[in-house]
Amino acid sequence: MSNPNARVFECRFNENKNYEIKFGNNINGKRLRSGDTIAIYYIASSGEEGQITKSNFSGSSINIYNTTKYDQIFANIKDATVNYISVNDSVEITATNTEDSTSYSTEETVEEMRNNTPKFFNSEYKLITKQDYESFITRNFKNLTYDIKASNNSDYVNDFLAYLRNELGMASYTGHNNALYNQYQYSDSFNVNNIFLTVVPKFKKGNSIVTRSNYLPASLKNEIQFEMRKYKLLNAEISFLDPVYLAVDFAVRRSTESNVLSYKDDSSLVIYRNNSSIVNDETIKNKVVTILQNYFTNSKLGQTVDIQSLNSQILSIQGVDSFVTTRDNNQLVKEGLNIGIYNPVHNGRDFKIIDTNYKLRYFQIPYIEDLDAIKSKITVIPVTKQTTVEY
């Protein structure tokens, strides 16, 4: 709600994929008067063509948009407490993009609207529950974020700090660079009332070795924090907990062995192809890689890694009779898919091998670091199936 003199408007994307602009009625926002002139300025996106890669421009000059009408409007509405870049200033400024641009997004589907609208209205413009926080970011930063989990201080202590202590061997968060940065930048000394936001950005989701490229930049964190201040409870403090990316690779161990990171280097997937099938080995390899790629590219924070589903998908490939995960030149063989999952930033201290469904912590998300390396560890062996003929 706005006061009767507020010069505000509402912009909606309608079912015909057009934008509708609605002005006030002198009760909620100021009403237009007869003879008023409306100027509309917007950025037109060219979709995928507008995406650029890292260092696409370097040391490039910038252009400040201006027209006589625009300058008149801007002079009337600009914040006098803010220093803006003028046309003269822009001559001395250059720009370089150090990261890929964010991926473009399509408009919400009707089904997405049905799912998202109740979440929006249920919050009543207040941020109280974890779902309120998650829905707020999903709704307002849809083009910049891939996934979001909200947690409280109890979750932080009992889950995240426990992970650092028990699995990474750290005495406190001070040994974890991202946690230390977020604590210093966004938290105060009293953490009990903290709301921690774990956000996966849309850009560079697949590579956690490039430090910080998979985390929200400080500018976007500040923007999210600023926007939420209008709706959060007075005693709630918003902080951030960056996602922990877990690399996935083939790995297998004996029941008497511990989880050892080097096991992944000697493990591979062996696919047994029915010799009567006309599907060639390379096609089967590619289909296995595609199944793994699609599954882990679409992974979410805190999901269950569904080994059973992956086993079923691989077995459903035409020509596949069975498959095993092996190690040490086939000296160790285990049925189905066995994978190692670990934090590569901390040298796999948390490395574990799983052969059944495994639930991740709410701040963890799995990914495949190198698809070509995965493919090189897949072998296809033809087998002849014996059949019994009754006379």
pLDDT at 22: 92
- Which sign does the torsion angle of CA 143, 149, 152, 157 carry? negative
Strands (E), the chain: 9-13, 19-23, 60-61, 94-95, 145-152, 194-201, 237-240, 244-250, 267-274, 304-305, 320-327, 332-335, 339-342, 352-354, 358-359, 364-367, 378-383
Q: Is the pLDDT of residue 211 over 50?
A: no
Contact 250, 359 (CB under 8 A): no
Contact 144, 220 (CB under 8 A): yes
251 — pLDDT class (breaks 50, 70, 90): very high
Express as a percent the part of the chain with pLDDT over 70. Answer: 87
Contact 342, 265 (CB under 8 A): no
Q: What digits encode the pLDDT tens for the residues 331-361?
A: 899 999 999 999 988 888 999 999 999 999 9
245 forms beta bridges with 365
Q: What digits encode the pLDDT tens for the residues 311-334?
A: 999 999 999 999 999 998 778 999
From CA 194, how far away is CA 235, in angstroms rounded? 9
Q: Is the pLDDT of residue 212 over 50?
A: no
pLDDT at 186: 61
* Span 55-63, average pLDDT: 85
Is the pTM value of this prediction over 0.95? Answer: no
Q: Is the pLDDT of residue 387 over 80?
A: no
The string of DSSP letters for 33-91 reads: -TT-------PPP-GGGG---TTSSSSEE------HHHHHHHHHHS-TTSPPPPHHHHT
Domain boundaries, the chain: 1-38, 57-96, 110-242, 246-383
CB contact set of 320 (below 8 Å; sequence gap of 6+): 271, 272, 273, 274, 284, 314
Which spans in 62-176 are helix H? 68-77, 87-90, 110-122, 130-140, 153-155, 162-166
